[in-house]
Amino acid sequence: MTHPIDSEEITAETRSRGRRPGKKRKGRGVLIAVAVVVALVAVVAGGYLFNLAHTFDSASSKIEQAFPEESTRPQKTGTAINILVMGSDSRGATESDSAAGTPTNQRADTLMLMHIPADRKNIYTMSIMRDLWVNIPGHGEAKINSALALGGTPLMVQTVESIFQQRIDHVAMIDFEGFKGLTDALGGVTVNIKVPFTSTALPGQSFAPGQHTFDGTQALAFVRERHAYADGDYQRVRNQQEFLRAIIKKSIAGQTLSNPITINNMVGAVSPFVTVDKSLDSGAVAALALELKDIRAQNTVMFTLPTGGIGTSSDGQSIVLTDPNAIQHISAAMTSDTLGEYVAANKFENGN
User: Do the strands 140-143 and 133-136 form a parallel or antiparallel pair, or are they unpaired?
Assistant: antiparallel
Cα distance between residue 90 and residue 319, in whole Å: 23
- How far is residue 55 from each of residues 14, 26, 32, 36, measured CA to CA in Å? 33, 22, 16, 15
In 3D space, the residue among 112, 100, 98, 114 whose CA is nearest the CA of residue 148 turns out to be 98
Q: What is the pLDDT of residues 54-69, one digit of tens each?
A: 676 777 788 889 999 9
Least reliable range by pLDDT among 40-49, 96-105, 106-115, 215-224:
40-49
Q: Where on the phi/psi map is residue 309: left (φ > 0), alpha (ψ -120 to 50), or beta?
A: left
SS3 of residue 133 by DSSP: strand
The answer on pLDDT for 236 being more than 60 is: yes
Query: What's phi and psi for 189, nearest 5 deg?
Result: -130, 135
The answer on pLDDT for 209 being more than 90 is: yes
SS3 of residue 222 by DSSP: helix
Mean pLDDT of 163-187: 87
Cα distance between residue 232 and residue 197, in whole Å: 12
CA atoms within 13 A on the CB side of 270: 31
The answer on pLDDT for 248 being more than 80 is: no
Note whether 21 and 296 are within 8 A (CB).
no
> Residue length, the chain?
352
Cα distance between residue 317 and residue 315, in whole Å: 6
Ranges of beta strands (E only) in the chain are: 61-63, 81-88, 108-116, 123-128, 133-136, 140-143, 170-175, 189-193, 197-198, 206-207, 210-214, 274-277, 300-304, 307-312, 318-322
Note whether 238 and 199 are within 8 A (CB).
no
**CA 12 from centroid of its chain's CA atoms:** 16
DSSP state of 279: T
Any idea of the CA torsion for 342, 344, 348, 350, to the nearest 10 degrees? 160
Mean pLDDT of 212-236: 88
Q: What pLDDT, on the 0 to 100 scale, is given for residue 57?
A: 73
Q: What pLDDT, on the 0 to 100 scale, is given for residue 105?
A: 55
Percent of the chain with pLDDT over 70: 72
Any idea of the CA torsion for 182, 183, 184, 188, to the nearest 10 degrees? 150
Note whether 148 and 86 are within 8 A (CB).
yes
pTM: 0.79
**CA 232 from centroid of its chain's CA atoms:** 19
For 121, other C-beta atoms within 10 Å of its C-beta total 12
Cα distance between residue 128 and residue 112, in whole Å: 6
Cα distance between residue 38 and residue 40, in whole Å: 6
Q: Where on the phi/psi map is residue 225: left (φ > 0), alpha (ψ -120 to 50), or beta?
A: beta
33 pLDDT tier (thresholds 50, 70, 90): very low
Cα distance between residue 271 and residue 178, in whole Å: 8
Q: What pLDDT, on the 0 to 100 scale, is given for residue 72?
A: 96
The answer on pLDDT for 336 being more than 80 is: yes
